Amino acid sequence: MQPDHPLTKHFRLTSVQLRGLKKLGIETVRQLLYHFPARYDQGGEEAAIHGLAVGTQATIFGTIGKLETRRSWKRKIPVGEATITDASGSIKVMWFHQPYLAKKFSEGMFVKAVGTVGGKTGKPYLANPHVEPADPTEAGLFAQRKNQQGDALLGSLFAVYPETRGVTSLWFRHAFEKVYANGILDFLEDPIPHDVVERYHLPALSRALLYIHKPDDLKHAEAARKRFAFEEIFSIQVARALERAENDAQDSFAITDGAALADKFLSTIPFSPTNAQKRAIADILADFDTRHPMARLLEGDVGSGKTLVAAATAYAAVHSRPPRRESGTLQVAYMAPTEILAAQHFQSFIEYFKHLPINIALLTGSGAWKYPSKVSRDKPTSISRAQLLKWVMSGEIAMLVGTHALIQKSVEFQHLAYAIVDEQHRFGTRQRRALAHKGDAAPHFLSMTATPIPRTLALTIYGDLDISLLDELPPGRAHITTKIIKPGEREQAYDRIREQLRAGRQAFVICPRIEEPDPAKINALQAKSAKAEAKRLASEVFPEYRIGLLHGSVKPQEKDKVMAQFAAHEIDILVATSVVEVGINVPNATVIMIEGAERFGLSQLHQLRGRVMRSSHQPFCFLLPETNSELSMKRLRALEKSDNGFELAESDLENRGAGDIFGRKQWGVTDLGMEALKNVKLIRAAREEAQKIIVKDPSLSNYPALAQRVSSGASELHSE
Ligand code: ADP
Ligand code: MG
């Protein structure tokens, strides 16, 4: 057995099990070892079989009999069955999907069984229990066993794994035993360098695997979890440090006059920049003045004025000459996540730069535009894509705004000096390189985001970027009024919305789901669906207003159309799922109502309410929770109190468990890694160690196991 062997080489798996494992991301022995338990069950007190209460954990001793295997008649699942009998009575035992377990024992054998009692009172059974041959003298002594600390041991710990159809926790426990028995654990090379393991007192890999899958003390399991959390964060940090080193080895265009140019630009706008904007602009200009490409993240809450920072620094670029040239300018690319946002930014840059003799263009999937047009100085004109590409290549277009269309092969710049990317969470080095096709010099790179994430998460996933923070809103903003609406107050909330609509404003109504749930599951999932809610609002609540619908399974073109209609005020109320989060700018929308609010993370709710904080009109946010548990009310009250996204992200991380942070999956960090993010010291340590290693050994040639871990993707190993 080898760590990278496919499981099928060593395990007899049914097609159901294969599919289940694949769904959990487990195909190799190594991936199996990195599938960690979600928790541990304690055996429970040793009990007599007679009178076992349904739903409790039990440890029983008895004689096994009536062994057989069959298929369940309903679901056709292979089942192994037996009964266990002690002096007080007997109980049925079933193993689903693992009928062969019944064959491991022979009738009359004395065994110990641990599991949760299922079934009905009077007819209980043990489903998928842990069963092992036992020594009759062990029975009765069990509860008195002590551990080293002198605490009474209730029983052994049993790992409970994230399960899937056909693959139970019991299966995982057996699988681990088998791998363990093969001595694989000692074969595995630890991806964390030895000295780092020692410095932070982490259990080494083989020990940690044993601790996490088969602990005899919860403290050990905890130590192992901490180690794997460190391993994950550390691997991500190493990957980012590698990218950073690659970045710093490249050349770029030096922009030396930045400060004077930016000042000149700032004197042309009708307001003065906030201090935070000034600092960010200065950070960027300092980076421009080196021969290596900038790699920087600009983090700022919705409305903090990131576009101005982009514009002032872009201004500096388009006023600089390419090296050894008498004419022409350096070029800037600006990439937005959607066509509408690209068009909006195109307009903003035209506003900012219209007094200048430079060409600005827009390129999206649906066309190409250039400003100014030949016929009019104030308007952009539609041109052919081919023409636009020619002008971009010849350097005639100083600033190109667009969507992902900008990183197609056909788009070639003459002197791309500066690339700005708005809300693209993992825009890595590879995509950055795609922007710089010609490879003579890499562009300075600025990533902008309004997604509030905790500091430790930013340090990890953006570990390759320097960070500038806009922690200040421009003066004179109306503060949003956020209010939790109790069940009896719904009508009042609708009245408030009606007031806004009557005053010519627009509204969002956000629902947690797209469709009505399957009636059979209606109790479990009562969340309002966008489709049904749009219908209901149109017929019962706001029949006099125009209602639009937007959700994740609407096709992109249709989505853009609906958003354009909303932006043009052809729709009054937009009913949507959380797809509207990303920076859509409809300043006339001033009220947002969020159904099932407790289902969203705090950061996400904050992002959502940011949609109505785009103007000087007083904005409102109504939160309608479906349940009123103390914890969810506490979280929602935090939103009533604070309108600082970064504060909320930290409090989300503290209060709600890291796994809930908005869009966890999109960060490529597992639940375990997220737990580690609560520990600032650990994150800093992982980051420092990662950077030290890359300085010492940029190709990781002395760290093959780490190199493998990093290249296999820090999160792919995990299956949580
Ligand atoms: P975001 O950071 O969300 O992208 P924007 O760049 O869209 O924010 O700015 C939001 C609004 O604030 C815009 O209308 C912009 O003109 C305005 N703005 C930006 N900076 C300032 C400032 N220093 N003073 C006043 N208004 C500003
Ligand atoms: Mg923006």
Same domain for 430 and 551? Answer: no
| Number of separate domains in the chain | 3
The whole-number pLDDT of residue 607 equals 83
Same domain for 491 and 431? Answer: no
Exposure string of 397-436, with b = 16+ CB inside 10 Å and e = fewer, is: bbbbbbbbbbbeeebebbbbbbbbbbbbbebebebbbebb
**Residue 709, domain member (yes or no):** no
CA of 668 to the centre of ligand 1 (A): 31
The whole-number pLDDT of residue 340 equals 82
The 8-class DSSP code of residue 270 comes to S
Q: Which residues of the chain have pLDDT under 70?
A: 43-45, 136-156, 425-430, 433, 436-440, 515-527, 579-584, 655-667, 713-720
Residue in the block written with tokens 């719904």: 490
Task: Report the residue among 266, 281, 308 best suited for mutation to probe ligand 1: largest number of ligand atoms under 8 A from its CB.
Answer: 308
Same domain for 434 and 490? Answer: no
Same domain for 490 and 603? Answer: yes
Whole-prediction pTM: 0.76
The three state secondary structure string of 212-250 is HHCCCCHHHHHHHHHHHHHHHHHHHHHHHHHHHHHHHCC
Domain end (from 99, 126, 145): 145
Domain end (from 595, 619, 642): 642
**Residue 208, domain member (yes or no):** no
**Residue 543, domain member (yes or no):** yes
The whole-number pLDDT of residue 389 equals 95
The predicted-structure confidence for 5-19, as pLDDT tens digits, reads as follows: 999 999 999 999 999
Q: Whose CA is nearest to atom 13 of ligand 1?
A: 305
Same domain for 310 and 407? Answer: yes
Among all ligands shown, which has an atom nearest to the Cα of 616?
A: 1
The CA distance from 473 to 303, in Å, is: 7
Q: Which atom of ligand 1 is nearest to the CA of 348?
A: 16
Q: Whose CA is nearest to atom 19 of ligand 1?
A: 305
Q: Whose CA is nearest to atom 4 of ligand 1?
A: 306
Exposure string of 350-373, with b = 16+ CB inside 10 Å and e = fewer, is: bebbeeeebbbbbbbeeebbbbbe
Among all ligands shown, which has an atom nearest to the Cα of 299?
A: 1
Residue in the block written with tokens 């005020």: 569
The whole-number pLDDT of residue 396 equals 92
Q: Which atom of ligand 1 is nearest to the CA of 610?
A: 3
Cβ contacts of residue 327 below 8 Å, gap of 6+? 321
Same domain for 271 and 378? Answer: yes
**Residue 406, domain member (yes or no):** yes
φ and ψ at residue 49, rounded to 5 degrees? -65, -40
The DSSP bridge partners found for residue 467 are 297
CA of 526 to the centre of ligand 2 (A): 34
Q: Whose CA is nearest to atom 9 of ligand 1?
A: 305
Q: Whose CA is nearest to atom 5 of ligand 1?
A: 305
Same domain for 438 and 534? Answer: no
The CA distance from 340 to 304, in Å, is: 20
Same domain for 499 and 442? Answer: no
Q: Which residues line ligand 1 (CB under 6 A)?
A: 271, 273-274, 277, 300, 302-308, 450, 474
Give me the count of residues in the chain.
720
Among all ligands shown, which has an atom nearest to the Cα of 607?
A: 1
CA of 610 to the centre of ligand 1 (A): 13
CA dihedral sign, ordered 104, 107, 111, 115: positive
Among all ligands shown, which has an atom nearest to the Cα of 342?
A: 2
Q: Whose CA is nearest to atom 17 of ligand 1?
A: 305
Task: Report the residue among 271, 281, 307 best suited for mutation to probe ligand 1: largest number of ligand atoms under 8 A from its CB.
Answer: 307
DSSP string, 649-704: HHHHHHHS-GGGSTTHHHHT--HHHHHHTT-HHHHHHHHHHHHHHHHH-TT-TT-H
Contact 506, 572 (CB under 8 A): yes
Cβ contacts of residue 638 below 8 Å, gap of 6+? 602, 648, 651, 655
Q: Name the pairing type of β-strands 57-71 and 78-85.
A: antiparallel
The predicted-structure confidence for 132-159, as pLDDT tens digits, reads as follows: 887 766 555 444 444 444 444 445 688 8
Domain that holds residue 85: 43-145
Q: Which atom of ligand 1 is nearest to the CA of 310?
A: 6
Q: The CATH number of the domain where 435 resides is what?
A: 3.40.50.300
**Residue 30, domain member (yes or no):** no
CA of 643 to the centre of ligand 1 (A): 17
Cβ contacts of residue 14 below 8 Å, gap of 6+? 78, 97, 166
Same domain for 398 and 507? Answer: no
Structure tokens at 639: 């939103």
CA of 608 to the centre of ligand 1 (A): 18
Q: Whose CA is nearest to atom 27 of ligand 1?
A: 474
Q: Which atom of ligand 1 is nearest to the CA of 302?
A: 3
Q: Which atom of ligand 1 is nearest to the CA of 422?
A: 4
Report the SS3 class of residue 186.
helix
The 8-class DSSP code of residue 361 comes to E
Domain end (from 393, 428, 449): 449
Same domain for 607 and 553? Answer: yes
Q: The CATH number of the domain where 78 resides is what?
A: 2.40.50.140
**Residue 76, domain member (yes or no):** yes
CA of 302 to the centre of ligand 2 (A): 7
The whole-number pLDDT of residue 152 equals 43
Q: Which atom of ligand 1 is nearest to the CA of 304?
A: 2
Structure tokens at 367: 């066309």
Report the SS3 class of residue 189.
coil
**Residue 487, domain member (yes or no):** yes
The CA distance from 457 to 95, in Å, is: 42
Contact 84, 62 (CB under 8 A): yes
Cβ contacts of residue 684 below 8 Å, gap of 6+? 459
Q: Whose CA is nearest to atom 26 of ligand 1?
A: 474
CA of 271 to the centre of ligand 1 (A): 10
Report the SS3 class of residue 608.
helix
**Residue 210, domain member (yes or no):** no
Q: Whose CA is nearest to atom 12 of ligand 1?
A: 305
Torsion angle defined by CA atoms of residues 623, 624, 625 and 631, in that order, rounded to the nearest 10 degrees: 30
Same domain for 486 and 610? Answer: yes
CA of 357 to the centre of ligand 2 (A): 25
Q: Whose CA is nearest to atom 15 of ligand 1?
A: 305
CA of 404 to the centre of ligand 1 (A): 24
The CA distance from 512 to 624, in Å, is: 11
What separation, in Å, do the N-terminal and C-terminal C-alpha atoms of the chain show? 24
Same domain for 489 and 371? Answer: no
